[in-house]
Chains A and B, each alone.
Chain A
Amino acid sequence: MIELQNLTKTFHSNGKEVRAVDAVSLTVNEGEICVFLGPSGCGKSTTLKMINRLIQPTSGKVLINGEDTTSLDAVTLRRQIGYVIQQIGLFPNMTIEENITVVPRLLGWDKQKCQERARELMSMIKLEPKQYLHRYPRELSGGQQQRIGVIRALAADAPLLLMDEPFGAVDPINREMIQNEFFEMQRALKKTVIMVSHDIDEALKLGDKIAIFRAGKLVQIDHPDTLLAHPADDFVSNFVGQDSTLKRLLLVKAEDAADNAPSVSPQTPVAEALELMDEHDRRYVVVTDGANKAMGYVRRRDLHRQQGTCSDFLQGFNATAAFDENLRILLSRMYEFNRAWLPVLDAENVFLGEVTQESIAAYLSSGRSRGMKTNIVSPAEQVAS
């Protein structure tokens, strides 16, 4: 866990005092990615560099796991914090292996351990150690260099990682891949990450928390979805863009937007199922077994004036939604299969509800958001209670 308390930096230029960073306080919990976002010159990079004291704070404290770092020697502090910069900063005079093991060697690890660590890290980013370890940075592509830059920061297993626009210099296709790779690594290694970015999409994709900076001040720090749903002021809402609701599609999961749809069992008589559909004003209903596992659905027009049980008229799903898929994927699938609704299933196929155009719209306009509990309740919840 890392905590900034009233971190401030003032510069003097032309006799005037300029507050580059003004009393920034925030907390990032262990294993979280916090993205510092803002226009250039807003103080986000300065704030980041005050954490590893590349810039000396004018006042304020940085606490890592509750321990004040002010008393620590800057070099000792930096060796405990991974650091990635936009320009990558691999040392051209060192081989890839030497680059990766720079910090472990500074910390005095023995040769054997360094070599093993380099191999382990290389396999994490799916680069063949034998082929690459003895090359020089100049001989690698930009994307490969940036991957090496990231694993170099991980080499000494520092619990905290600072990244200054780490994927800014990579082309869009590679950036997407490296972001995904990094996200998986971060989740597996549970590193606490603070990342500076000016790309709202990157922030939404990677951030557990987004901190928006403006003119040296921290304007808002929240879960990405909360930020999009409830921007603190006009500056934040302009910064996140006019299509902020569409951007939320990426962040909201199927289980959040699922409504409380009724279901029937295969043994339910047709008449009872028709009555249920009438009551809820629907043209279909999902059929589940005793363990609430989804088996399929029945349509009203199939049951009309029929006898027997629902199992006789069971239709299989041709498209379903997993509980952790985001709405953007689901909407795309709904258009692809020309469906107005999708059943939401968990990993064991248990039926959780349905996602429909209406339930998505209801969620997005309800004022609810991920990462935040409000007293505003969605229509689905109202029905349930």
Chain B
Amino acid sequence: MANGYGKGLLGATAIVVVLALLVHWIGIDALRQYQGDLWFYLQAHLELVLASMLASVLVGIPAGIWLSRPQRAHSAERFMQVFNIGNTIPPLAVLAIALGILGIGAGPAIFALFLASLLPIVRNTYEGLKNVEGSLKEAATGIGMTPRQVLWQVELPNAMPIIIGGVRVALALNVGTAPLSFLIGANSLGSLIFPGIALNNQPQLVLGAACTALLALLLDGLMTFASRTWLERGLAPAR
């Protein structure tokens, strides 16, 4: 316990130091100047991320479950290839294609981000369910659970650490890719970064980039905490 506490203290100190250095670099004046913009864009950025993440979780997890069912054992890998190919297209290209089809604004941006974060969720849901120990499924079936009950009461809860791992990867990817949506006319922290680059305005650029990174860290931390507290009880932490 004492050791964990010490580590926590060390981590907190490191974060404070890094934040102080950032603030020093950007400058208090610049921070005051961009305060309004920052809040506005941060909110827009969060909206993009949450909307696209929600969509990819709602599509990705059922897709992973569907692929992992025994009757699709032989065709599942081929389906996974489709998702894999989808993921080799760079986010910038996906944005361009979305622009071509759906036009400009937040809608196409959410669609592109949704596609970008879909694969890790599907892949991990599929792998997580496939890797639930055969003996657990045998025990569950043997004591009289229906296939649906086996899925909900045994397979999904025990695959949760791996599924959550996929969601976390998708989340980091999503937050990091969202600034690109500036290019198709959606509001995000990219609206600070790209003008910063264009105008060679260092404080503005760093502010946007740092906030994106911090947001990614914060959301990941929240996700991990929530999952450990509510979803992974009794399970060995995934390493």
Contact = CB atoms under 8 A, between A and B. Distances in A.
A106 B153 CA distance: 11
Contacts of A79: 143-144
A360 B153 CA distance: 57
Interface string A270-309: 0000000000000000000000000000000000000000
Interface residues of A, number: 30
B121 to A, nearest CB: 20
A54 B141 contact: yes
Interface string A70-88: 0000011111101101111
Interface of A: 52, 54, 75-80, 82-83, 85-95, 102-103, 106, 136-138, 152-153, 162
A92 B234 CA distance: 6
Instruction: Identify the interface centre among A52, A93, A95: most chain B CB within 10 Å of its CB.
Output: A93
Given A85-B138, A102-B143, 16 more contacts: A78-B141, A79-B143, A79-B144, A82-B143, A87-B133, A88-B135, A89-B138, A91-B154, A92-B158, A92-B235, A93-B157, A93-B233, A94-B153, A94-B157, A103-B144, A106-B145
Top 4 closest pairs, chain A to chain B, by CB? A89-B139, A136-B234, A79-B144, A87-B135
Interface of B: 133, 135-136, 138-146, 149, 153-154, 157-158, 160, 233-236
A127 B34 CA distance: 64
Contacts of B154: 91, 93
Contacts of A88: 135, 139
Contacts of A52: 142
B143 A83 contact: yes
29 contacts: A54-B141, A54-B142, A75-B144, A79-B143, A82-B143, A83-B139, A85-B135, A85-B142, A87-B135, A87-B139, A88-B135, A89-B142, A91-B139, A91-B154, A91-B158, A92-B236, A93-B157, A93-B160, A93-B233, A94-B157, A102-B143, A102-B153, A106-B144, A136-B233, A136-B234, A137-B234, A138-B234, A152-B143, A162-B142
Nearest to A102: B143
B234 A78 contact: no
B140 A91 contact: yes
A89 B234 CA distance: 14
Contacts of A91: 136, 139-140, 153-154, 157-158
Contacts of B142: 52, 54, 78, 83, 85, 89, 162
Contacts of B153: 91, 94, 102
Given A87-B133, A91-B154, A92-B235, A106 B141 contact: no
A89 B136 CA distance: 5
B140 to A, nearest CB: 7
Contacts of B149: 106
Contacts of A89: 135-136, 138-140, 142
Contacts of A106: 143-145, 149
A102 B145 CA distance: 9
Contact of A94 (B133, B145, B234, B236): B234
A55 to B, nearest CB: 11
Contacts of B143: 78-79, 82-83, 102-103, 106, 152-153
Contacts of A77: 144
A85 B139 contact: yes
Contacts of B141: 54, 78
A108 B30 CA distance: 64
Contacts of B136: 89, 91-92
